Amino acid sequence: MKRIQMAVLGYGRVGKMHVKLIQHYCPELQIRAIIDDCLSNAKPLEDIKAFQVADTEHVLEDASLEAVFIASPSNTHAELIKKAIKHGKHIFCEKPVSFDISTLNTLIRATEKNHIKLQVGLNRRFDPDFLLLKDKISNNELGQISLIKITNRDPIRPSLSFAKRSGGLFLDFNIHDFDMAHFLTGSTVQKVYAQGSALIDSRLSDINDIDTAIISLTMQNGILVSIDSSRETNYGYDQRVEVMGSQGALVVTNQPQQTNEYTSSLSTHSALPKFSFIERYQNAYINQLRAFIHLLQSKEKNIQSLATLDDMKHAVEVALAANHSCKTNKPVSLSHHDDKAVEKSFS
Amino acid sequence: MKPINIAIIGMGRIGKLHAKNIMTRMPYFKLVKITDLLPDNAWLEEFNIPFTSNIAEIFDDKNIQAILICSPSSYHAEQIVSAAKAKKHIFCEKPLGLTEREILHVINIVKEQSVILQVGFNRRFDSHFEDLKNKITQQFVAKPHILRITSRDPTPPPGDYVKHSGGIFLDMSIHDFDMARFLIGEEVVEVQAFGNALINNDCHQYHDYDTALIHLRFENGTLGIIDNARQASYGYDQRIEVFSNKGCLKSLNELESHLQSWTKDGVLAAKPKYFFTERYADSYIKQLESFYHCIHSHLSPKVTAFDGLQATRLAIAATQSAKSNSPIRVSPKLALEEAFF
């Protein structure tokens, strides 16, 4: 079997995770090169050559390389995508790609013009539970959907230095929820109202960030979406989704670390939810890779990935609107001139 | 110990519920009279309750010490005033009135006449929510960051009811506004509401919502969100979650049974208890028991007229907010000066 030759750009926490998963679960992919300035700390990897960031162009010039896997810091994504397009390489790029809509528009046009396949790292779309949920909704099991509730809470807050470059809670954290609303409803967001505060760490206020938020979305098709978020539970990764329709509701609950329970005369104890995003979303990351492989292997003309730049752009638009809403304390409407996203979601 | 003589105005669903509870579970109350514009004679005969078609009789009867007001909402304020002037202690089903002005007037009269006025926010007396409140008071979650209240009816009310209900926020969410204030122990200073009517034709027709989201901003910084629905086909969904990074408290639904079915087709559990009479059965008794103790021991009620006022203010704010698509600020203080006219 001919393996797809790939270069990985970025070997930080997320890059390392992807490489490990690729090595264990994706024999179809062969990583030929990893680019990162901080590779000296990494364990030596068999058959993989390590490169410095300065060598990126040189690596991309290799004609036998088919795809790149971008897991570098957020502010490098757009440039690396442009370089990859220039060299005709197909692309996987971690979210957020860019916080700037015009940059995203430029990248969308460039990938289309150059027939470059691109998948973005909106991994939750590939989570088995959320896929089941999406399936049942699409099969009309709930009838007319009217309300979706999403709980997205992190176990431990990130450092203040991370917060400074993250883009803020909505762009960094809730971006997944905005995409999930789009993914599950098959509609785009028409209006956002976001309330947030720095209730855990007041220092975030000094850098215009928050750690606690409640967001309401009104979708174009009228469905209401409620998101509640916190940067820190201390009890694990709290990821719950509830969808209500005319025929009933579907609920995705948390995954406990184990299924054991302990009962005494005082109380009942059961396991906490999974504590790390890698643990909680491992299957999503693997499924996402498989989808990328399928995308690369496909001979179908004009094939779109299951998580496109358009999807990413919409999520970013919602996040930017959420920022504005929170700042002004007013609901913010999104203007829509592009219904391609709606059509695609129904297919 | 001599029981307190009590009368009921209104023989609708809730009036009958209270009557039955008083007669079967409350030896400290004696139900001496009941009135309604449209009496259910069969029911009256079955339970052998003295009836009058003349409401004035109830106010004039010196032997009646307390009155339960269970009439349609539009009559509440005027009936509280009549009862208060007749020196009767009053238990009134929510709401106390339809407007802030009406309620402020009622508060003023009741204060003048030195009678007790308790409002029927029975959920405060539910044992699960009492326990939740205790755990919050004992700092299980320190200062709450997020309050989530889910309150959904199994089936919507009939079109006629929807037409005159005052809308989902005044009719349904009002309980949740009270619960929010009760649990957090702080005033809500701002409300932003959104709604849709995608499921129920009556709601759509009468420009009401069948699904709503209501943001609450508390004075202490806690954020809250209420989600209401008129038609959750799976039953009466009443859940609460109180969260901070120190802990998370959840109140789940009481189920119809504890039976589960495990087959090759899946695992099935019982639905939540069907509606408010089943789910909150005990609270209806406990709230009147509390009312009795207030009368007997000259205490202030646990759910006061001010609580009634605040919940209505929030409901009115939510209605305005949804219509105007902007957040509405709510004054936390009782505007006493408005009460004097």
Q: DSSP readout, A212-234? A: EEEEEEEETTS-EEEEEEES--S
Inspect the interface and report whether the beta carbons of A153 and B223 lie closer than 8 Å.
no
Banded model confidence at residue A44, pLDDT cuts 50, 70, 90: low
Q: CB-CB: which of A226, A230, A249 is closest to B243? A: A230
Q: Name the percent of chain A lying above pLDDT 90.
A: 86
pLDDT at site A336: 57
Does residue A341 surpass a pLDDT of 70? no
Inspect the interface and report whether the beta carbons of A331 and B148 lie closer than 8 Å.
no
Among chain B residues, CA nearest to A192: B194
Does residue A339 surpass a pLDDT of 60? no
pLDDT at site B201: 85
Q: Convert the pLDDT of each residue in A278-294 to its tens digit.
A: 899 999 999 999 999 99
Q: Which residues of A fall below an 8 Å CB-CB distance to B? A: 143-147, 149, 153, 157, 191, 193, 195-197, 199-200, 212-214, 216, 218, 222-224, 226, 228, 230-235, 238, 244-249, 329-331
Residue whose C-alpha is closest to residue B145's, from B155, B136, B154, B153: B136
HSE-CB at B181 with a 13 A cutoff on CA atoms is: 25
pLDDT at site A187: 97
pLDDT at site A41: 54
Q: Quick one: tokens of B20? A: 């039955």
pLDDT at site A49: 87
Q: CB-CB: which of A195, A231, A248 is closest to B223? A: A195
Q: CB-CB: which of B196, B224, B245 is closest to A232? A: B245
Size of interface A-B (CB pairs under 8 A): 106
Inspect the interface and report whether the beta carbons of B146 and A212 lie closer than 8 Å.
yes
Q: Determine the residue among B198, B216, B238, B329 to mutate to test chain A binding: the one whose Cβ has the most chain A Cβ atoms within 10 Å.
A: B198
CA A85 to centroid of chain Cα atoms? 21
Does residue A342 surpass a pLDDT of 70? no
Inspect the interface and report whether the beta carbons of B146 and A193 lie closer than 8 Å.
no
Does residue A252 surpass a pLDDT of 90? yes
Cα(B31)–Cα(B33) distance, integer angstroms: 6
Nearest chain B CA: its distance from A194 CA (Å)? 9
Longest dimension (CA), chain B: 70
Inspect the interface and report whether the beta carbons of A147 and B195 lie closer than 8 Å.
no
Q: What is the overall mean pLDDT for chain A?
A: 92
Report chain B's C-alpha Rg in angstroms: 20
Mean pLDDT score, A254-278? 92
Are B106 and B305 within 8 A, CB to CB? yes
3 state DSSP class of B50: coil
Q: Quick one: tokens of B158? A: 């009939």
Nearest chain A CA: its distance from B245 CA (Å)? 5
pLDDT at site A43: 60
Of A37 and A173, which is predicted with more confidence? A173
Inspect the interface and report whether the beta carbons of A226 and B225 lie closer than 8 Å.
yes
Of B336 and A195, which is predicted with more confidence? A195
Q: Which residues of B fall below an 8 Å CB-CB distance to A? A: 143, 145-146, 148, 150, 152, 192, 194-196, 198-199, 210-213, 215, 217, 221, 223-225, 227, 229, 231-234, 243-248, 325-327
pLDDT at site B341: 36
Q: Which residues contact B322 (CB under 8 A, 6 or more apart)?
A: B169, B193, B194, B195, B209, B212
Residues in chain B with CB shorter than 8 Å from the CB of A247 are 233
Banded model confidence at residue A302, pLDDT cuts 50, 70, 90: confident
- Residue identified by tokens 């339970």 is B47
Does the global pTM surpass 0.90?
Answer: yes
Phi, psi of A344 (to 5 degrees): -60, -40
Q: Which residues of chain B have pLDDT under 50?
A: 336-341
Residue whose C-alpha is closest to residue A304's, from A314, A313, A291: A291
Nearest chain B CA: its distance from A343 CA (Å)? 21
Residues in chain B with CB shorter than 8 Å from the CB of A231 are 245
Among the residues of A139-227, which ranges form H helices? 160-166, 169-172, 175-185
Residues in chain A with CB shorter than 8 Å from the CB of B146 are 212, 214, 228, 230
pLDDT at site B36: 95
Q: Is B29 exposed, middle or buried (0-12, 13-18, 19+ CB in 10 A)?
A: buried
Q: What is the number of H-type helices and E-type strands within chain B?
A: 13, 15
Q: Which long-range contacts (CB under 8 A, 24 or more apart) does A135-138 make?
A: A136/A250, A137/A184, A137/A243, A137/A245, A137/A250, A138/A186
The complex scores an ipTM of 0.90
